């Protein structure tokens, strides 16, 4: 308590310092005067403008700060004492034009021709040929306003808004309500026309006022029935641990049986207590006319569930194909696009059906085909030759293919598949069977035929030798010589020894430990040694060299 008294005394001293030092007696008198003003016994204090100051205003609000050098209490410092006459509440005149020029002026925008901006700041579409060079379609000069907004004007989100632009929203709602009333009136008239009176005549409305009154009465009855049904829902009182009570609506009828009590068999439909769902039918063998619950999956295939599913799938597929559509973000847009998609799909289906019927005819239609098609006769004159070929009168139509035609590669003059022989396809221009081969032309054909003839001659010679073998002396001829004028007879024993020495030499070359220090050279090489060297030599271009032992 003492701390509070010290605090208030300190605050009063701080406030008194703004107007000057006061003694204890003056301070007591000041407090008594304030109490009297609050009680209405003393007149209220006046500010510098002569207006009364509410005595109930706290002193920290009525007393001005020390840096304002206020001699007496006032509320001037609480008001907006910084007022700028240059501030305005006007807004830009959007779309206003000042002057329309007919020719391009020097210094104007080279794109549109307006004088109020430059080419870099032009908001029009860049023209292929600007107004500076075409001297056509000169844009008018915009109205440029320069005024200064105050603090509130800069932050006013509705500044410059035209309230008349909201009239289209009212019109759309009024049109919707009018269409709804018209539809309900038509339905009411259909119901009344369908009922007959006792004398067999249909009931008719006398005027539109009676129909409107009946319609309003029916709507009122429907609303009252809905309210009564909702009122029938019982209320139960829930008491919390703290003792407070609250009414909670019980949305389930007490006579209704819970879904998990319909079938107590453990192996029956599964009930998920967390989501309170039972997807399967708990009583699949019972009469469907007597049971009221068939499982949650039954609701997925009834009503508008399938249509909503198709709508969702269409939104996904459209989004994957690049359209800016989202089922949750813009459901109205997604539904509108889906309706347009169904209309276009039906239109294309009807168009395809019509095209097929126009091309092949419709056997179910009553229209008979023309006699030219039935009898194969026409009045057009066509001339044929003796072989049955058309000379004139009807041009031969060449069917077009979706594949590229007459595309020749690798210097070929014909396409692949134009030549066939012995079960293989090839090119007709060079008679080659390899698809990626280069065309050799007539020279290639002659070379191929010559090789075939040579192969046939060799085969015939071989067959003749097999039929009548000639007795001749076997000779071991050297195969390494290419410039020999006569055949060399090789001694088998010497050749065998030369091959053995060549093998030992190869082993010495592979094993470093068996290599001799004193190497002797012999320039005299016999034919058998040369043949052994050729037979043991490894050819690096031989594809089978890695498999040699």
Which neighbouring-strand residues pair with 142?
A: 97
HSE-up of residue 185 (Cα within 13 Å, Cβ side): 14
Percent of the chain with pLDDT over 90: 20
Question: Which range in 23-32, 66-75, 236-245 is most confidently predicted, on average pLDDT?
Answer: 23-32
What pLDDT does residue 15 have? 45
Q: How far is CA 434 from CA 337, 414, 419, 424, 430, in A?
A: 54, 14, 11, 10, 11
pLDDT tier, 58 (very low <50, low <70, confident <90, very high otherwise): confident
Query: If you average pLDDT over residues 443-464, what whole number do you get?
Result: 88
pLDDT tier, 20 (very low <50, low <70, confident <90, very high otherwise): low
What pLDDT does residue 346 have? 94
> φ, ψ for residue 87 (rounded to 5)?
-70, 145
Minimum mean pLDDT range among 28-37, 225-234, 329-338, 441-450: 225-234
3-state helix, strand, coil in the chain (%, to 5): 40, 5, 50
Three-class secondary structure of residue 180 per DSSP: helix
Three-class secondary structure of residue 415 per DSSP: coil
HSE-up of residue 326 (Cα within 13 Å, Cβ side): 4
Cα angle value 406/408/411 (rounded, 5°): 150
Three-class secondary structure of residue 152 per DSSP: helix
Query: If you average pLDDT over residues 467-490, what whole number do you get?
Result: 56
Cα angle value 230/232/233 (rounded, 5°): 70
Tell me the pLDDT tens digit for each residue of 62-82: 888 888 887 777 788 887 766
Looking at per-residue pLDDT, the higher value among 235 and 50 belongs to 50
What pLDDT does residue 431 have? 86
Q: Output the DSSP codes for 338-358.
A: HHHHHHHHHHHHHHHHHHHHH
Percent of the chain with pLDDT over 70: 75
What pLDDT does residue 156 have? 86
Do the beta carbons of residue 440 and residue 448 sit within 8 Å?
Answer: no
Q: And the tokens for 128?
A: 């292929």
User: What gap in Å lies between CA 467 and CA 382, rounded to an integer?
Assistant: 66
DSSP letter (8 states) at residue 526: -
Does the structure show a pLDDT above 90 at 379? Answer: no
Looking at per-residue pLDDT, the higher value among 33 and 465 belongs to 33
User: What gap in Å lies between CA 379 and CA 347, rounded to an integer?
Assistant: 38
Q: And the tokens for 24?
A: 């204890």
Assign residue 101 a region: left if phi > 0, alpha if psi is -120 to 50, beta otherwise? Answer: beta
User: What gap in Å lies between CA 461 and CA 452, rounded to an integer?
Assistant: 14
Q: How far is CA 509 from CA 512, 523, 528, 541, in A?
A: 7, 20, 21, 21
User: What gap in Å lies between CA 256 and CA 278, rounded to an integer?
Assistant: 16
What's the N-to-C CA distance of the chain in angstroms?
115
Does the structure show a pLDDT above 90 at 358? Answer: no
Closest to 141 measured CA to CA, from 192, 83, 198, 97 = 97
What pLDDT does residue 130 have? 94
Q: What is the dihedral of CA 452, 456, 458, 461, to 10 degrees?
A: -170
Which neighbouring-strand residues pair with 421?
A: 424
Does the structure show a pLDDT above 70 at 362? Answer: yes
**Burial (Cβ within 10 Å: 0-12, 13-18, ≥19) of residue 372:** exposed
CB neighbours of 53 closer than 8 A, spacing ≥ 6?
A: 44, 45, 46, 47, 62, 73, 74, 75
Q: Indicate if the alpha-carbon torsion angle 367, 370, 373, 374 is positive or negative.
A: positive
What pLDDT does residue 288 have? 81
Q: Which helix (H) or strand (E) holds 228?
A: helix 208-232
Query: Would strands 383-384 and 245-249 be described as parallel, antiparallel, or unpaired?
Result: unpaired
Does the structure show a pLDDT above 90 at 60? Answer: no
Tell me the pLDDT tens digit for each residue of 388-414: 888 887 766 666 777 777 788 888 888
Does the structure show a pLDDT above 70 at 511? Answer: yes
DSSP letter (8 states) at residue 458: H
Tell me the pLDDT tens digit for each residue of 409-422: 888 888 888 888 88
Looking at per-residue pLDDT, the higher value among 452 and 207 belongs to 452
What pLDDT does residue 297 have? 86
> φ, ψ for residue 249 (rounded to 5)?
-75, 130
Cα angle value 455/458/460 (rounded, 5°): 110
Length of the chain: 549
User: What gap in Å lies between CA 141 and CA 157, rounded to an integer?
Assistant: 28
């Amino acid at each position: 308590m003492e701390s509070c008294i010290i605090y208030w005394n300190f605050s009063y001293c701080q406030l008194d310092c703004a107007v000057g030092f006061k003694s204890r007696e003056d301070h007591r008198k000041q407090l008594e005067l304030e109490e009297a003003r609050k009680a209405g016994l003393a007149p209220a204090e006046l500010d510098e403008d002569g207006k009364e100051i509410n005595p109930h205003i706290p002193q920290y609000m009525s007393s001005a700060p020390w840096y304002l050098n206020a001699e007496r209490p006032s509320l001037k410092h609480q008001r907006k004492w910084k007022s700028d006459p240059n501030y305005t509440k006007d807004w830009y005149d959007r779309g206003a034009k000042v002057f329309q020029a007919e020719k391009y002026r020097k210094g104007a925008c080279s794109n549109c021709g307006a004088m109020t901006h430059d080419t870099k700041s032009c908001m029009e579409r860049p023209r292929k040929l600007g107004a500076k060079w075409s001297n056509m379609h000169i844009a008018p000069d915009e109205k440029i306003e320069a005024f200064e907004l105050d603090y509130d004007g800069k932050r006013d989100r509705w500044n410059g808004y035209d309230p008349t632009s909201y009239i289209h929203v009212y019109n759309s709602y009024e049109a919707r309500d009018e269409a709804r009333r018209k539809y309900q009136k038509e339905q009411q008239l259909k119901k009344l026309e369908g009922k007959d009176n006792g004398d067999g005549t249909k009931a008719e409305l006398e005027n539109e006022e009676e129909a409107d009154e009946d319609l309003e009465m029916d709507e009122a009855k429907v609303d009252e029935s809905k309210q009564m049904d909702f009122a029938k829902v019982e209320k139960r009182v829930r008491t919390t641990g703290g003792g407070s009570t609250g009414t909670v609506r019980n949305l389930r009828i007490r006579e209704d049986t819970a879904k998990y009590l319909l079938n107590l068999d453990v192996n029956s439909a599964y009930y998920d207590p967390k989501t309170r769902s039972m997807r399967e039918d708990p009583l699949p063998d019972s009469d469907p006319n007597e049971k009221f619950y068939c499982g949650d999956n039954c609701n997925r295939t009834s009503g508008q569930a399938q249509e909503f599913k198709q709508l969702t799938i269409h939104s996904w597929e459209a989004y994957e194909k690049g359209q800016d559509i989202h089922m949750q973000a813009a459901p109205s847009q997604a539904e509108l696009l889906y309706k347009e998609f169904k209309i276009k799909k039906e239109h294309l289906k009807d168009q395809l059906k019509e095209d097929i019927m126009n091309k092949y005819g419709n056997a179910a239609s009553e229209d008979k085909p023309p006699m030219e098609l039935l009898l194969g006769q026409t009045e057009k004159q066509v001339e044929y030759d003796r072989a049955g070929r058309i000379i004139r009168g009807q041009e031969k139509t060449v069917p077009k293919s979706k594949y590229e035609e007459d595309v020749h590669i690798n210097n070929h003059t014909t396409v692949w598949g134009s030549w066939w022989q012995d079960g293989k396809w090839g090119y007709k221009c060079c008679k080659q069977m390899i698809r990626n081969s280069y065309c050799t032309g007539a020279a290639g054909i002659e070379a191929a035929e010559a090789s075939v003839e040579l192969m046939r001659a060799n085969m015939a010679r071989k067959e003749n030798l097999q039929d009548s073998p000639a007795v001749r002396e076997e000779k071991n001829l050297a195969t390494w010589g290419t410039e020999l004028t006569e055949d060399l007879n090789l001694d088998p024993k010497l050749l065998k020894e030369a091959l053995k020495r060549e093998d030992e030499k190869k082993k010495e070359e592979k094993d470093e430990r068996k290599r001799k220090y004193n190497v002797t050279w012999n320039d005299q090489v016999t034919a058998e040694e040369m043949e052994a060297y050729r037979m043991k030599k490894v050819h690096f271009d031989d594809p089978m060299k890695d498999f040699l032992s």
